[in-house]
Amino acid sequence: MTVTAIVIGRNEGPRLVACLNALQGQVARIIYVDSGSTDGSLVAASDLGADVVQLDLSQPFTAARARNAGLAKVEDDISYVQFLDGDCIMADGWLAKGQAWMVAHDDLGLVTGQAAEMRRDATVYNQMFDVEWKRPAGDILACSGNMMVRTHAFDAVGGFDPTVIAAEDDEFCTRLRKAGWRLERIPEDRARHDANMTRFSQWWKRAERTGHGFAQVGHLHPDYFVR
């Protein structure tokens, strides 16, 4: 396996441990990028063999900034990276399947797969997440940040925009497509997500961030987010 996994997180606790444990033996290297955790995530990641990157506290944290910092630590001879959020568990066999698909289709800038919510029926919010993850296979306009990316394509478009604080994955995907790369979702299990959302206030905060993403990315790419 020649894929490097880049995991990002902040105070994920046991979810991060489960995420990193699931990657053991499936990737050449794990890079964990931490955005100011205070819950022991740094020690846990190091104990599990991940190379830990701590983001500078003097700059605002964004998922885009964290993913860029992880990619900056990847060796030059690595052709594919798997981005993964620390609240997700990678499906067994996904990394090999994703890499094989990328190798067979050199016009792909990224590939993603199918996702599901771990505890779908625990709350109505988790159910909404699970519905959100269900997407058809085939060519796509964008996907979540849990994607396998061709490093050459990543470098060609300058990576993620660290100033985009929400919907940074949509913005990155849009620039990939505009640069001529194809994006695809294949009918293979990719990951399970643990939203652990139990309160309306949590859902509302996420909805506000989503609205910010629509506004900011819609301003950058008026042809993408449309009414």
**Which residue ranges in the chain fall short of pLDDT 70?**
1
Identify the pLDDT of residue 225. 85
Identify the pLDDT of residue 60. 83
- How far is 181 from 213, CA to CA, in rounded Å? 23
The DSSP string of 70-138 is HHTTS-TT--EEEEEETTEEEPTTHHHHHHHHHHH-TTEEEEEEEEEETTTTS-HHHHHHHHHH---SE
The pTM for the full model equals 0.93
- How far is 161 from 1, CA to CA, in rounded Å? 29
